[in-house]
Amino acid sequence: MNVLLLGSGGREHALAWKLAQSPLMGAFFAVPGNPGIAEHATCFENIPLTDHDAIVALCGAEKIDLVVVGPEAPLVDGIADRLIAEGIPVFGPRQVAAQLEGSKLFTKELCKAHDIPTAAFGRFDDREQARAFVRRQGAPIVLKADGLMAGKGVIVALTLEEALDGVDEVFDMGGIGTEILIEEFLEGEEVSFFCLVDGETVLPFGSAQDHKRAFDGDEGPNTGGMGAYSPAPVFTAELERRTLHEIIRPTARALADADSPYRGVLFAGLMLTQQGPKLIEYNVRFGDPECQVLMLRLDGDLLPLLHAVATGQLENQDIALKPEAAITVVLAARGYPGAYEKGSRIAGIGAAESIPGAKVFHAGTKRSGSDIVANGGRVLNVTAIGANVAEARERAYDAAARIDWPEGFYRTDIAWRALGAEPT
């Protein structure tokens, strides 16, 4: 099977690494790829993900049998619709279904119409009405701009004053014509849950938790994610069963019934509240860096699973995960998520990977002559699998210590929650 992978981050390197192990793999290509992905696939680094014509042309020229879409933006832009129109199977939903991530309002209305547990909400296009609603509800309260905001666009206001200022902030972020969402504040532990969906069949792909804040102790600014681990010990088999029954399957059913079946990985951000799991948000792709830990745990071949999603044949498949735990530590450029320098040299990746169970994924790197240099904010994902979270964590940190990159930093407390929950 000839495969084209779209994307250039650590998530896509993890997908490429796993896909390349498949005995079914034929020729393997990536757009635009990165130096880690280039170890497995031929990369077309000059084709931007926004150039759908060039991607379709490449599929024709290389006789691609499956396109795997890593990030959300091309899906929200309709790449799956374009490829399907050309008869090319694609892992990733069409534009209508990608609204699950592209439009928070779409998701909230879908939840409301189908009794899917989520935070109560109001929607406003008028600042004064939004402020009046905030005054009536009081704090804490959550404000959100609609649309793809790359993790921004959400304010969790703990005081009434913060909430009232936040109304202006969110309207300003969204620009003209913005609608904002004002949500009930949910209390509990957050967990990420991943399922493959082929329109009808839903197969759970496991849980994970990530760390969004930049610094130890969950301090500092929000980031794309500084580390993750899988499984999430709080997400018991019973909670998974409830989530499938109350949230994931009703969502898949609603979309299928509306003639916009969801095909791809459905990533549910959940809050485990006193009343049970509630949906915070959906994403239409694997999490980054959650994908990295899931790929280490996946037992067996990824390629037939993704192909079955693309072709509606998931009922004949099953997903087996190793019972072990995996963790990933993000090495970021100093200054991230603010301003940072690019171009510093990174050494020691081979030494890091000599630790048993360890694998280093490239997230934001570039090749410069024979060197690997930093080329982004989140630069490497040092990932490891072990018998339990404690062992996986020790291996990941031993590996991270072997990376020679003075211009980088990482959190030293990834998986602290899981360690507390693990029997010692």
**Least distance to ligand GLY, CB of residue 378, Å:** 10
Interacting stretch for ligand AMP, rule CB under 6 A, among 179-187, 256-264, 349-357, 370-378?
A: 179-187
Interacting stretch for ligand AMP, rule CB under 6 A, among 11-19, 30-38, 180-188, 358-366?
A: 180-188
- Verify binding: residue 100, ligand AMP, rule CB under 6 A: no
The residue (of 105 and 148) whose beta carbon lies closer to ligand GLY is: 148
- Verify binding: residue 183, ligand AMP, rule CB under 6 A: yes
Q: SS3 of 227, please?
A: strand
Say if strands 263-273 and 227-230 run parallel, antiparallel, or are unpaired: unpaired
- Verify binding: residue 75, ligand AMP, rule CB under 6 A: no
- Binds ligand AMP (CB under 6 A): choice among 55, 154, 182, 325: 154
Report the run of H or E that residue 272 belongs to, with start and end.
strand 263-273
**Cis? peptide before 231, omega within 30° of 0:** yes
**Least distance to ligand GLY, CB of residue 267, Å:** 7
State both tokens at 160: 């009434």
The residue (of 199 and 337) whose beta carbon lies closer to ligand AMP is: 337
Interacting stretch for ligand AMP, rule CB under 6 A, among 38-46, 126-134, 178-186, 256-264?
A: 178-186
- Verify binding: residue 269, ligand AMP, rule CB under 6 A: yes
- Binds ligand AMP (CB under 6 A): choice among 133, 185, 215, 409: 185
CB of 211 within 8 A of CB of 233? no
Q: Which of 62, 72, 79 is nearest to 26 (CA)?
A: 62
- Verify binding: residue 170, ligand AMP, rule CB under 6 A: no
**Least distance to ligand GLY, CB of residue 235, Å:** 16
Chosen from ligand AMP, ligand GLY, none, partner binding at 283 (C-beta under 5 to 8 Å by type): ligand GLY
- Amino acid letter, residue 405: W
The residue (of 225 and 231) whose beta carbon lies closer to ligand GLY is: 225
Number of residues that bind ligand AMP (CB under 6 A): 12
C-alpha neighbours within 13 Å on the C-beta side of residue 302: 21
Chosen from ligand GLY, ligand AMP, none, partner binding at 290 (C-beta under 5 to 8 Å by type): ligand GLY
Q: Which of residues 207-226 bind ligand GLY (CB under 6 A)?
A: 210, 225
Q: Which of 134, 121, 127 is nearest to 162 (CA)?
A: 134
366-396: burial string, b at 16+ Cβ within 10 Å, e else: beeeeebbbbbbbbbbbbbbbebbbbbbebb
The site string for ligand GLY over 160-199 (x = CB under 6 A, - otherwise) reads: ----------------------------------------
**Least distance to ligand AMP, CB of residue 31, Å:** 27
The site string for ligand GLY over 272-291 (x = CB under 6 A, - otherwise) reads: -----------x---xx-x-
Q: ∠ CA 104-106-112 to the nearest 5 degrees?
A: 100
CB of 206 within 8 A of CB of 294? yes
State both tokens at 352: 């890091």
State both tokens at 90: 């694609």
Q: To which residue do tokens 């067996």 refer?
A: 300
Number of residues that bind ligand GLY (CB under 6 A): 6
**Least distance to ligand GLY, CB of residue 29, Å:** 24
Phi, psi of 276 (to 5 degrees): 120, 180
299-323: burial string, b at 16+ Cβ within 10 Å, e else: eebbbbbbbbbbeeebeebebebee
- Amino acid letter, residue 336: Y
Question: How far is residue 287 from each of residues 37, 276, 362, measured CA to CA in Å?
Answer: 17, 23, 15
- Verify binding: residue 280, ligand AMP, rule CB under 6 A: yes
**Least distance to ligand AMP, CB of residue 95, Å:** 20
Residues near ligand GLY, by CB under 6 A: 210, 225, 283, 287-288, 290
